Amino acid sequence: MDPNNLIHRDPGEESEDATLAGKIAQGALKDIITTILRWRHADIRLIFGTIVLLLLVGFRIAAIFIDVDTLETHLDVGRSSGFSTGGGFQTTNCRPVEGLLLGNDRNGYSLTATLVEATQAFFLPALLSCGIALFFGTLLGAIAGYFRGGLLESSTKLLLTVIASYPRLILVIVAVGFFVAYLHDPGRAVGMRLFLMAMMLGVAYVPVLALAIYQKVGAFQREQFIEAARAHGLSDVRILGYHILWANCMPVLARHFFYLFGYFILVETSLSYLGPEYGVPGSIPSWGNLLAGCSKGELFSAAVMAPSVAIVGSILGLTFLGDAIGERFERGRT
Amino acid sequence: MKTAWLVGQKVGHFVSVLFLSSLVLAGLLWFSPGSPGKAREPVDFDEIAVGAEVCVAATTCGTLKSMPAKAPDDPTVDDGFNFIKKFVQVQLPEGEQTVESGDVLAPGPSFPTWFFGVFWKGVLIWDIGPAFNGDPVLDVVMLGAKQTLPIVFGALIAAIVVTLVLVSFLTWLPFPSMRGLLRTLLLILSISPVFVLGFLMTKAGVLPHPVLWWVAPAACVGILFVGDSSLGEFLLQLENEYRHLRSRDYIHAAGLRGASLFKHMLPGLLLPLSSMSAAKIAFLLGSVVIAENIYAVQGLGTLSLRAATKPDPLLLLTLTVFITFVVALVTLVRDLLEIAIDPRIRKGGGH
């Protein structure tokens, strides 16, 4: 007898074990397939949007700790320090580099690190923009929707029509270009430029949100629970603020929050692509100026495809998330 | 009588929106750091050097060509601003002319004078003044409009036609899963920003052609009607309207009678189409800035960028008011179309 094998096992038992293992494996496989089949019915938009949002938040947090300078590859010899989209394109840049996941960018820095760091160009300004649009859009839409048939409604609607008549991008260009051109030191005006961009885009988005809230408030005004609240002597502010806006307009606000966040990414990257005069300055990396910086690179290279996919993926994800959350809220309430 | 009153109301709304939007924008420009009515700060001569940006009038700035011949403590001058006026030559950014001594030094006009006396009076007599390149502002705007408007309306028409074809195809397609897949793919393509599509098209070899003048505008139309969710939004909205209309009783009845469905559905589709066009035109006029810049088309978008960075407030105001005029005009056409098509509005039932 083998001293190491103290328990005697005959061949019959071994075959039983194999059958049991097979059954367990079969059960596990069945579980996996069932789970996958169940996921087929999950809202893909919600999953994709949540992943995109988590990635964006993660990237923004990681950008605090990333110092792109320490990750440069030193391929672009003679380049001055700092991120720049102008001049100095080297044939060794925008290329795959050993040891760097996506290769390097126009300035020879790690493209992966720059992509992560570029989230700081839009993240906080986008939140500011959303805040402005949500506050003023809700306020104006609620006032116009609740106090119908009077001067307040008609004047608010006229104001919204006037703002809506400007193309949003033109309004941003007017403000950013005209204000920043007069600052003495454009390099120091980074915060001011992003603030202006956020503010103008927020203001330009107000009519869209206000119209949605206006329709919603108007529809709820005829509901019985609002009549009951009035009969109980609740004030207009409480009915409007709590019973209509807080309790019933959240889906609209959530949806437009994500739409505007995505739209801000679109505008910021578009303007940064056009040049440092319109978007973020050359000293700050942005997905837009990353793409512009590698315009001489090959079409299907990482340097071209990575920023493109990041831009399209983010906008798509946020739009999907807005749709999915809005629909889920609506379904939950009905 | 009722119809005439409604039309008058809509035209009045159009005029008031146009006027108020120009007033708001003029106010924004007026209170910006580059206000046309603001006098420049005096120059500090301890810091000034050749090549510096100096301004000798409210809107006349340029690069300092040479240092002043006399010392700034000359008793004949009282401050730096007069000193600039008397002794400094400034090379203007474009053209050969220079600003000589004593040419200019006046604060700009007041806001009412600038807005009513310069801008609106200039619009009415068709002479606003020169733009940054010396050409009359209105000529510059009209030249830009000739390039931009065909692109924008071309993109709008292309979006409508392609969407109608796609909606018909998707409605005809017998497999729901394939329909969903196709719709999702189109939405993903459509959500791409205009500049990404333009960039990819230029990389794919679609570039402005020296002989074939239509390549650049056609490329602009292509990326405009697809990008920035244009096609996607049209597709979703029109498909909803189409399905809603197909489920109406009078369409069923027309189908049973053997009458043309197209003929019966067209008036029903015209209203949503005009509403969608009115909502989309402002968006397209914004996105055209990016498309024109990529394909170097000298239209309103490129001009807006140049006017904003020069900066030329009068040109910027004129350009933006013109763009607002186009947006308001399309909205007016939509409103008039509604009055013409929908008898409930004419008979006082409202929307």
Q: Render pLDDT for A199-214 as a digit per residue (tens, 0 to 9).
A: 999 999 999 999 999 9
How crowded is residue A320: how many other Cβ atoms within 10 Å of its Cβ? Answer: 24
What mean pLDDT is predicted for residues B249-253? 87
Q: How confident is the model at residue A23 (pLDDT cuts 50, 70, 90)?
A: confident
Closest by CA to A202, choosing from A287, A263, A117, A130, is: A130
pLDDT the model gives residue A39: 59
* Side chain identity, residue A250: M
B141 is written with which tokens?
A: 């705007």
The whole-angstrom distance between B190's CA and the closest CA on chain A is 10
How crowded is residue B192: how many other Cβ atoms within 10 Å of its Cβ? Answer: 24
Q: Render pLDDT for A34-87 as a digit per residue (tens, 0 to 9).
A: 666 565 666 788 888 899 999 999 999 988 887 665 444 444 433 333 444 444
**What is the value of pTM for the model shown?**
0.79
Contact A60, A117 (CB under 8 A): no
Nearest to A274 among B287, B290, B327 (CB): B290
Residue A130 has pLDDT above 60, yes or no: yes
A169 touches B: beta carbon within 8 Å: yes
| Cα–Cα distances in angstroms (integers) from residue A292 to residues A59, A302, B295, in the given order | 21, 14, 14
B308 touches A: beta carbon within 8 Å: yes
Q: Alpha helices, DSSP H only, in B191-248?
A: 194-203, 215-226, 230-246
Nearest to B34 among A181, A274, A299 (CB): A181
Contact A72, A99 (CB under 8 A): no
A97 is written with which tokens?
A: 């580099």
Q: Which helix (H) or strand (E) holds B90?
A: strand B90-91
B313 touches A: beta carbon within 8 Å: yes
A208 is written with which tokens?
A: 């869209």
A17: helix, strand or coil: helix
Burial (CB count <10 Å: 0-12, 13-18, 19+), residue B294? buried
What DSSP character marks residue A120?
G
* ipTM over the 0.85 cut-off: no
| B203 contacts in chain A (CB < 8 Å) | 295, 299, 304
Contact A318, A259 (CB under 8 A): yes
Contact A324, A46 (CB under 8 A): yes
- Tell if the CB–CB gap between B308 and A169 is shorter than 8 Å: no
- Positions of E strands within chain B: 53-55, 61-64, 90-91, 98-99
Contact A146, A219 (CB under 8 A): no
Among all residues of chain A, which has the CA nearest to that of B196? A308
- Tell if the CB–CB gap between B308 and A178 is shorter than 8 Å: yes
Residue recorded with tokens 């996105």: B287
Closest by CA to B29, choosing from B314, B305, B263, is: B314
B37 touches A: beta carbon within 8 Å: no
Residue B276 has pLDDT above 80, yes or no: yes
**What mean pLDDT is reported for chain A?**
78
* Least confident piece of the model among A48-62, A177-191, B191-205: A177-191
Contact A262, A315 (CB under 8 A): yes
pLDDT top residue among A13 and A88:
A13
How crowded is residue B249: how many other Cβ atoms within 10 Å of its Cβ? Answer: 7
